[in-house]
């Protein structure tokens, strides 16, 4: 491949060493001319030999600025920067380049490198040329609308934004309008009706998955409303949202951030926003009959995760620990729920949920998964009673399958749902933007087996390799709880049944003589509960876009001598 023409080449100092520094439209690079030797006073700039080199893609440069001469001074026991005094030794004009540096575990850091120039004119020429190249990166955001949930996670959202994110946005010359939310659904309602979205290149959410869900609901509803699309119709093809969303993780699970970037780190996310990354994401719409309920991007869970969520909401004051306490309690209660799951398996997809390869940056499965219209397909229902061999219609395209059974958990995940609690996620091979969701059915089994299954979310073993677990990649599915199969009228109102109270009450649920337990669970949808248990779900391919690029393959680390943290 032909190299792009060089824009600048100069011999400059970096920490008293001499470097050949080059810039073309793709790469900014510096190569030490004589390693491990300081430039002797009065020596020529042109007598040094080539040695170790460093390079940064132009698209990963954050900013360039003229460097005011500063020195580190100790005052009252603390080091701080002060301008050089005229008596201090002469330092030539300098410029600093801020750029993305990859650290461990998919974390990005903003590094800087400062070059001293022999004259003022050359320094200005470098600054101007780099700025011109950055100006050409038109996909980078310049104006952002930021929503901060001050109560998400450990209630650190505001501090995280002010201390870690705002300074890098300002370094990258991004202007922001910041709204600290005052109530639940404040961000959603503002986006739906009030926000002047034309003013912005992106919306940033500082909070957890629940807060992100608010932003998603606001933007999707606004887009459908502007396009005249009826969200209540389950068969509608939804219009994708143009504006990208950035997530600064400050919540309890942070799975959407983790599964799209590979880390729940505010600085990493801020840098992905600044460089203008774009990652399309699938969204599931959830309906009850012809009524729209919610959108789901991460986990739509019935049984274990639904019960866990209900319990954890009462413990919100505990912060993220609430999920561990409620997780243990829900595990002990060991509820199973009867019902019927019908689903439309994907037959034309490149991937499967049992694949060993993962959805990563530039994923070919996501790029090549075609978009099938969602109109009703041929329906051929077959019943598969538990314990019997299932007879499937192999080779038959777009056939609905029906599974009636007793389930400990029914989970639908449109992405892996990797998070710090489960670094590989609920469905490790799920794809961010292939237009499908992975439907995981955990049939009734013993507590010990269920624990084995749960533990596998935290280690390298395959969590689907159990006789009581099945996983299907689907475009659509439906669920009908058993108690509503006979009388579908029951579900015309939201479920308001009283649940068994307390841990003991829940454990008694399996005892036939005890009538204190509910016949159904509650759906948890990205951390919110749904008012109905009978639902229809459709996956919508690439409905929203994030400032992310998918998880990058692990980089090779190299020592960046002469480079310091920003
Ligand atoms: C014995 C060890 C068992 C460990 C099992 C761990 C499996 C964890 C999988 C977690 C998947 C999380 C999917 C994401 C869900 C979020 O949308 C939702 C709301 O998040 P937030 O707004 O940030 O609070 N979080 C949950 O539903 C919590 C799931 C907690 C699981 C322990
Ligand atoms: N100012 C606020 N007061 C109360 N609740 C809020 C506020 N702003 C947002 N929320 C709600 O808080 C819930 C949890 O937010 P989130 O940031 O996801 O934290 P967590 O990850 O801890 O659940 C979301 O459902 C969101 O609607
Ligand atoms: Ca998907």
User: What number is the ipTM of this complex?
Assistant: 0.97
List alpha helices for 287-386, DSSP H: 304-313, 321-333, 364-368
Atom of ligand 1 nearest to the CA of 309: 27
How far CA 60 is from CA of 105, 116, 264, in Å, comes to 18, 22, 20
Same domain, 475 and 533: yes
Same domain, 320 and 223: no
Q: What pLDDT sits at residue 68? A: 74
Which of 92, 119, 137 corresponds to the end of one domain?
137
Does 378 map to a domain? no
Q: What CATH number is given to the structural domain containing 118? A: 2.30.29.30
* Residue 211 CA to ligand 2 centre (angstroms): 5
Residue bearing the CA closest to ligand 2, atom 22:
153
* Residue 355 CA to ligand 3 centre (angstroms): 14
Taking the CA of 318 as reference, the closest ligand is 2
DSSP string, 278-301: -EEEEEEEEEETTEEEEEESSEEE
Q: How many domains does the chain have?
A: 3
Does 333 map to a domain? yes
Same domain, 19 and 167: no
* Residue 69 CA to ligand 1 centre (angstroms): 49
Same domain, 232 and 318: no
Q: What pLDDT sits at residue 368? A: 86
Q: How would residue 28 be classed by pLDDT, with cut points 50, 70 and 90?
A: very high
277 has catalytic annotation:
no
Q: What pLDDT sits at residue 34? A: 67
Residue bearing the CA closest to ligand 2, atom 10:
184
Whether pLDDT at 48 is above 90: no
Structure letter (DSSP) for residue 392: -
Q: How would residue 351 be classed by pLDDT, with cut points 50, 70 and 90?
A: confident
- Report the percent of the chain where pLDDT is more than 90: 75
CB 179 within 8 A of CB 225: no
- Assign 452 to helix, strand or coil: helix
Does 347 map to a domain? yes
Does 370 map to a domain? no
Question: What is the pTM (predicted TM-score) of this model?
Answer: 0.87
Return the structure tokens found at 191: 């986006």
Q: Tell me: the pLDDT tens digits for 420-438?
A: 999 999 999 999 999 999 9
296-316: average pLDDT: 97
Taking the CA of 211 as reference, the closest ligand is 2
Residue bearing the CA closest to ligand 1, atom 12:
417
Does 372 map to a domain? no
Question: Which of the two residues, 439 and 73, has the higher pLDDT score?
Answer: 439
Residue entry with tokens 């979310």 = 457
Which of 118, 137, 156 corresponds to the end of one domain?
137
CB 169 within 8 A of CB 274: yes
Domain that residue 415 falls in: 288-364+400-497+514-540
Q: How would residue 362 be classed by pLDDT, with cut points 50, 70 and 90?
A: very high
Same domain, 461 and 348: yes
* Residue 152 CA to ligand 2 centre (angstroms): 5
Pocket test for ligand 1, best of 210, 297, 417, 421 (most atoms within 8 A of CB): 421
CB 424 within 8 A of CB 551: no
Residue bearing the CA closest to ligand 1, atom 25:
527
The finding on whether 422 has its CB within 6 A of some atom of ligand 1 is yes
CB 224 within 8 A of CB 238: yes
Does 508 map to a domain? no
CB under 5 Å of ion ligand 3: residues? 282, 414, 431, 434, 436
Pocket test for ligand 1, best of 214, 296, 299 (most atoms within 8 A of CB): 299
Same domain, 104 and 178: no
Residue bearing the CA closest to ligand 1, atom 5:
454
Atom of ligand 2 nearest to the CA of 153: 22
Residue bearing the CA closest to ligand 1, atom 24:
252
- Helix, strand, coil percentages for the chain (3-state, nearest 5): 25, 30, 45
The finding on whether 327 has its CB within 6 A of some atom of ligand 1 is yes
Pocket test for ligand 2, best of 154, 160, 190, 210 (most atoms within 8 A of CB): 210
132-139: average pLDDT: 98
Q: What CATH number is given to the structural domain containing 420? A: 2.60.200.40
Atom of ligand 1 nearest to the CA of 426: 9
Whether pLDDT at 239 is above 60: yes
How many CA atoms does the CB half-sphere of 465 hold within 13 Å? 10
Least confident of 2-11, 48-57, 173-182, 370-379: 370-379
Same domain, 435 and 519: yes
Instruction: Please tell me which residue in 209, 265, 491, 495 is annotated as part of the active site.
Output: 209
Q: How would residue 394 be classed by pLDDT, with cut points 50, 70 and 90?
A: very low
Question: Which of the two residues, 256 and 6, has the higher pLDDT score?
Answer: 256
Q: What pLDDT sits at residue 206? A: 98
Q: Which residues line ligand 2 (CB under 6 A)?
A: 149-153, 181-186, 207-211, 214, 251-253, 527
Q: What pLDDT sits at residue 487? A: 54
226-250: average pLDDT: 97
Same domain, 27 and 154: no
CB 249 within 8 A of CB 257: yes
Same domain, 187 and 236: yes
* Residue 254 CA to ligand 1 centre (angstroms): 9
The finding on whether 258 has its CB within 6 A of some atom of ligand 1 is no
Same domain, 119 and 47: yes
Taking the CA of 298 as reference, the closest ligand is 1
* Residue 418 CA to ligand 1 centre (angstroms): 9
- Report the percent of the chain where pLDDT is more than 70: 80
Cα–Cα distance for residue pair 194/210, rounded to 1 Å? 21
59-87: average pLDDT: 66
* Cβ burial 44-62 (10 Å sphere, 16+ → b, else e): eeeebeeeeebebebbbbb
CB 144 within 8 A of CB 200: yes
Does 509 map to a domain? no
* Residue 491 CA to ligand 2 centre (angstroms): 29
379-390: average pLDDT: 39
Least confident of 219-233, 273-287, 347-361: 347-361
227-233: average pLDDT: 96
Exposed, middle or buried, 535 (CB in 10 Å: 0-12/13-18/19+)?
A: buried
Whether pLDDT at 89 is above 80: no
Same domain, 95 and 23: yes
170-192: average pLDDT: 98
Which of 121, 137, 153 corresponds to the end of one domain?
137
The finding on whether 251 has its CB within 6 A of some atom of ligand 1 is yes
Average pLDDT score, the chain: 86
Whether pLDDT at 76 is above 70: no
Q: What CATH number is given to the structural domain containing 206? A: 3.40.50.10330
Q: What pLDDT sits at residue 384? A: 43
Q: What are phi and psi of 439, to 5 degrees?
A: -100, 115
Same domain, 420 and 534: yes
Residue bearing the CA closest to ligand 2, atom 14:
210
Whether pLDDT at 85 is above 70: no
Pocket test for ligand 2, best of 149, 215, 311, 322 (most atoms within 8 A of CB): 149
Does 335 map to a domain? yes
């Amino acid at each position: 491949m032909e190299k792009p023409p060089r824009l600048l080449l100069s011999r400059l100092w970096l920490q008293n060493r001499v470097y050949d520094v080059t810039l073309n439209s793709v790469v900014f690079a510096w190569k030490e001319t004589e390693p491990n030797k300081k430039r002797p006073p009065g020596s020529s700039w042109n007598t040094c030999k080539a040695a170790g080199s460093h390079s940064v893609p132009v698209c990963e440069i954050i900013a360039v600025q003229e460097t005011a001469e500063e020195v580190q001074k100790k005052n009252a026991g603390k080091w701080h920067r002060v301008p050089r005094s005229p008596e201090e030794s002469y330092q030539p004009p300098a410029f600093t380049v801020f750029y993305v540096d990859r650290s461990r575990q998919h974390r990005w850091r903003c590094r800087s490198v400062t070059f001293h120039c022999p004259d003022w004119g050359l320094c200005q020429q470098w600054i101007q040329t780099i700025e011109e190249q950055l100006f050409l990166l038109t996909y980078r955001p310049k104006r952002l609308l930021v929503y901060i949930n001050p109560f998400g996670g450990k209630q650190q959202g505001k501090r995280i934004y002010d201390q870690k994110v705002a300074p890098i946005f300002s370094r990258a010359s991004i202007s922001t309008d910041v709204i600290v939310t005052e109530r639940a659904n404040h961000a959603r309602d503002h986006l739906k009706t009030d926000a002047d979205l034309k003013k912005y290149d992106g919306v940033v959410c500082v909070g957890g998955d629940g807060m992100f869900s608010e932003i998603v609901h606001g933007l999707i509803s606004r887009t459908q409303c502007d396009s005249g699309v009826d969200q209540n119709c389950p068969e509608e093809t939804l219009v994708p949202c143009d504006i990208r969303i950035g997530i600064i993780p400050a919540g309890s699970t942070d799975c959407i951030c983790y599964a799209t970037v590979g880390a729940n780190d505010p600085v990493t996310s801020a840098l992905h926003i600044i460089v203008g990354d774009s990652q399309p994401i699938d969204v599931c719409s959830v309906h009850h009959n012809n009524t729209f309920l919610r959108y789901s991007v991460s986990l739509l869970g019935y049984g274990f995760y639904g019960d866990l969520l209900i319990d954890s909401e009462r413990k919100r004051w505990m912060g993220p620990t609430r999920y561990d306490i409620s997780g243990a309690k829900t595990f002990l209660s060991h509820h199973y729920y009867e019902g019927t799951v019908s689903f439309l398996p994907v037959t034309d997809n490149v991937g499967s949920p049992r694949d060993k390869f993962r959805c990563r940056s530039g994923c070919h499965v996501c790029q090549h998964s075609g978009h099938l219209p969602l109109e009703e397909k041929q329906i051929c229902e077959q019943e598969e009673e538990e314990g019997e061999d299932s007879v499937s219609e192999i080779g038959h395209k777009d056939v609905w399958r029906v599974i009636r059974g007793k389930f400990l958990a029914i989970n639908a995940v449109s992405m892996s749902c990797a998070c710090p609690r489960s670094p590989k996620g609920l469905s490790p091979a799920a794809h961010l933007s292939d237009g499908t969701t992975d439907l995981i059915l955990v049939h009734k089994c013993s507590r010990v087996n269920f624990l084995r299954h749960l533990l596998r979310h935290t280690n390298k073993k395959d969590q689907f390799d159990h006789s009581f677990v099945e996983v299907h990649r689907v475009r659509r599915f439906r669920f009908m709880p058993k108690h509503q199969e006979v009388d579908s009228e029951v579900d015309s109102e939201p479920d308001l049944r009283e649940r068994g109270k307390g841990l003991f009450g829940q454990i008694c649920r399996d005892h036939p003589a005890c009538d204190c337990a509910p016949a159904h669970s509650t759906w948890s949808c990205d951390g919110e509960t749904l008012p109905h248990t009978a639902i229809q779900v459709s996956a919508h391919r690439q409905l929203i876009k994030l400032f992310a690029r998918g998880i990058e393959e692990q980089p090779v680390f190299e020592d960046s001598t002469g480079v310091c943290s920003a």
